[in-house]
Structure 1
């Protein structure tokens, strides 16, 4: 086997590998001897079929397998001998003129990961914005629960319904004088002013009394799901069967017990914990953005174009999907198209940060344990139908790239937590509004690497991440085929869509 380097420019490498015909033939002969005892052929006793006949029967398949095995071994040797760290799956091509009996000439091209020196963590300073949970916020949360649990009692005879009251009605909807499907109900409870019905419906029932019959006219919204009703003017014949007024919900221990809790104090403590958890998440977001900005500003190194392109493709796919959900998809698509290069800058930043965080993690022994990985897989499997969950687990076990992508967010969080512990952190008490403003403010937009264009503030959320970094050990290249040489590996997400079981459909709201 002969390996010759043909390109060594920046992060790009290319090689030609020659696998001799004799080594491939020798491997074929070894396979013939291995399978001969199991071959059955009319006229011969089991295990006594001559080797030349075995080779004649199974030669092409044995030769293809021997060739594929030789290519895998050649790639392993290439990676080991040249100490390569492929950024993506290498592109392997077998010459068009290859045929059995000739040397196999392979062309291999790939991009390698840059050499990154683990940065010094001395002098890392972060500001932590802390939001204490005020008693007033807890009281407001309790009141909101009480408002959602309010009850209604019968009003006095003759009372006219007001906003906040509840009416019980029968109604029949008609389009052009004909009752339409789904437009009728009996004993429907409607809280006036709650806005749960189409615009104009509740408003025209303010002032009704028990026993009253009223016909109202409403126009369905243009975006209404039923095509036959979109933008159509309809009438509803309404019969009012009862008018009810809201009862006062007393916030005390009995109220807490009605929710399954022992006391009002316990309810307040639970709500306080929820509010603290919510603000803690915002604080972490603010600190993480600071940290990533500091790392991005202090490190500038070349990143593999293939990794940038893969990251940009994922960002772009998300953006275009979101644009399709806008009121004016065409205008939204034009807007992101005009900012395409800004998002490519963000992709570069995310790849660079991913590589940097990976280097920091490896240099400091940060790892995702097998137990943590098992929990990740089981949690992800819940997104699929019960009958497909085991197939998903097996897919993750068999596809290292998909497993790496699943592992990446947790690994990043663990490295970030490690850096938080190493940093000198100063706390400053702020309001929740001030914390949110700090996250969204223009000055919180991601800082670029030296000499790079700064990403616009409104794109900060897209940049406030790090792309999953490649594993330290390169994955083994896929089998090369004569008729179609493998190309550079695709992102794990794309591969998963082809091989992993389809996720269960989301329930309609």
Structure 2
């Protein structure tokens, strides 16, 4: 095997690899000898089939297999000998007219391979990174508010005579129409709505105040401009309603008896669970904020060239998602007060950040032997499977038989473990903030993102 470097520019590499025809012929002879001992061909005793006959029957097919295996083996060997790390699998270029000659044994194997190598960079001292961790102290009033919400949502309702008031639950059949024609998802035979809850389209609930069981009514409402279903956004619809029943809410006393109705031993235990839930929610928001700060600081520190093919691949994924989102929402670039060219440039920057940070986190994890355990991956797989009730076995088999899909479960676990590793070494200081301040920090981060 002869390897010649034909390009070494930045991260780009191109090699020319040549294998003498004699080497390929020797591999073909060895292949045929092995086949001779196994072949069972009518008219010949086992192991007595002439090699020339086998070559005539299977030579071209065998040489194609040898050629494919040789290209893979020599490509891998060439890169290993150069001690390089390709960003993606190399592109192999073997001219078709040459391939025919090689298959027939008339020419040496000569092909080129192009690839980008991963950039080299130094890992910084993580103790130089300063992170401010916003922490919300859960007040007793916050716990009480959440308990009251739980109580409100679990209030008993009893049927009543008379007109519906705010707080009452209305059971009804309704059909929504656009220009006199029913639209998909706009009908229910036994829909229930607590008046004043704000669960339906603005203006819907208000028009039900005062209705009684047995009433029939048509109301007009206008869907919000930002309504998720694009075919309904901003449209005025009519709903034909038949009121079936009015129920009035009862009262709930937050005491030990109420807690026991939920399967807990006391109201204090319920408060403890509620507090843990609130702290968990704030903890997730805090984690999001801390991680964002860390990634921003790493993005500031690291500036290096990126493998072009890897960057283009990432941009294609990001841009495809942008186009799908816009198509789903029915919006245009003009609606977003931009142009396609400006949007492409902006999302190109986002792709560059994602690729750069991905390479940085991967290098940090590799240098510090951070790994995802089988147990962690198995747990992630089961969590994913549970998201598809009734299809658990199919989803499980899909991930088990699809290495790329399984890698998509491993990647976020690996990233979080690397982030945790860095945070252990960074200077992290806690700052007590209010719930509103934390929410604003998260909102500002999302707006920048």
TM-score class, shorter: 0.7 to 0.9
Task: Tell me, yes or no, if structure 1 residue 345 matches structure 2 residue 342.
Answer: no
Q: Is the 8 A contact 2:177 2:237 kept in 1?
A: no
Counterpart-to-counterpart distance in 2, 1:417 and 1:360: 12
Secondary structure of the structure 1 residue equivalent to 2:329: coil
Residue of structure 2 in register with 1:458 after alignment: 447
Go from structure 1 to structure 2 and tell me whether the alpha carbon gap of 1:365 and 1:380 turns closer, same or farther (over 3 Å shift): same
Residue of structure 2 in register with 1:90 after alignment: 90
Post-superposition offset of 1:121? 2.3
Counterpart-to-counterpart distance in 2, 1:409 and 1:392: 19
Post-superposition offset of 1:219? 3.5
Residues 294-305 of structure 1: pairs in structure 2 closer than 5 A: 294-305=297-308
Residue of structure 1 in register with 2:217 after alignment: 216
Secondary structure of the structure 1 residue equivalent to 2:43: coil
Post-superposition offset of 1:409? 1.6
Task: Tell me, yes or no, if structure 1 residue 149 matches structure 2 residue 154.
Answer: yes
Counterpart-to-counterpart distance in 2, 1:174 and 1:59: 70
Q: Is the 8 A contact 1:173 1:237 kept in 2?
A: no
Deviations along 1:152-197, one digit per CA (max 9) or x if unpaired, are 2354x6x4432222356678999999999996857x7653334556
Residue of structure 2 in register with 1:136 after alignment: 141
Greater mean alpha carbon deviation, residues 13-22 or residues 334-343: 334-343
Residue of structure 2 in register with 1:501 after alignment: none
Counterpart-to-counterpart distance in 1, 2:266 and 2:60: 78
Go from structure 1 to structure 2 and tell me whether the alpha carbon gap of 1:209 and 1:28 turns closer, same or farther (over 3 Å shift): closer
Q: Please, which runs of 5 or more residues in structure 2 have no aligned partner? A: none
Q: Which structure has more RCO (C-alpha within 8 Å, separation ≥ 6)?
A: 1
Go from structure 1 to structure 2 and tell me whether the alpha carbon gap of 1:71 and 1:272 turns closer, same or farther (over 3 Å shift): same
Residues 470-481 of structure 1: pairs in structure 2 closer than 5 A: none
Counterpart-to-counterpart distance in 2, 1:299 and 1:375: 33
Counterpart-to-counterpart distance in 1, 2:353 and 2:170: 57
Residue of structure 1 in register with 2:126 after alignment: 121
Post-superposition offset of 1:334? 6.8
Counterpart-to-counterpart distance in 1, 2:273 and 2:443: 29
Counterpart-to-counterpart distance in 2, 1:175 and 1:418: 56
Go from structure 1 to structure 2 and tell me whether the alpha carbon gap of 1:145 and 1:92 turns closer, same or farther (over 3 Å shift): same
Partner of residue 162 from structure 1, selected from 165, 168, 171: 165
Post-superposition offset of 1:417? 0.3
Partner of residue 357 from structure 1, selected from 355, 361, 376: 361
Go from structure 1 to structure 2 and tell me whether the alpha carbon gap of 1:50 and 1:277 turns closer, same or farther (over 3 Å shift): same
Residues 301-320 of structure 1: pairs in structure 2 closer than 5 A: 301-320=304-323
Residue of structure 2 in register with 1:260 after alignment: 263
Task: Tell me, yes or no, if structure 1 residue 389 matches structure 2 residue 395.
Answer: yes
Q: Is the 8 A contact 1:173 1:184 kept in 2?
A: no
Q: Is the 8 A contact 1:201 1:216 kept in 2?
A: no
Deviations along 1:381-433, one digit per CA (max 9) or x if unpaired, are 5566344335424433xx4x555443222111111101111012211100121
Secondary structure of the structure 2 residue equivalent to 1:325: helix
Deviations along 1:432-463, one digit per CA (max 9) or x if unpaired, are 2112222333xx6xxxxxxxxxxxx8342xxx
Residue of structure 1 in register with 2:291 after alignment: 288
Counterpart-to-counterpart distance in 2, 1:344 and 1:105: 37
Q: Pick the structure with more helix per residue.
A: 2
Counterpart-to-counterpart distance in 2, 1:197 and 1:290: 38
Q: Is the 8 A contact 1:95 1:105 kept in 2?
A: no
Q: Is the 8 A contact 1:13 1:111 kept in 2?
A: yes
Post-superposition offset of 1:108? 0.6
Residue of structure 1 in register with 2:370 after alignment: 366
Counterpart-to-counterpart distance in 2, 1:74 and 1:205: 76
Secondary structure of the structure 1 residue equivalent to 2:155: coil
Q: Please, which runs of 5 or more residues in structure 1 have no aligned partner? A: 445-456, 461-509
Partner of residue 435 from structure 2, selected from 428, 432, 440: 432
Task: Tell me, yes or no, if structure 1 residue 23 matches structure 2 residue 28.
Answer: no
- RMSD of equivalent CA atoms: 3.3
Counterpart-to-counterpart distance in 2, 1:380 and 1:180: 33
How does the TM-score come out when normalised to structure 2?
0.86
Q: Is the 8 A contact 2:221 2:238 kept in 1?
A: yes
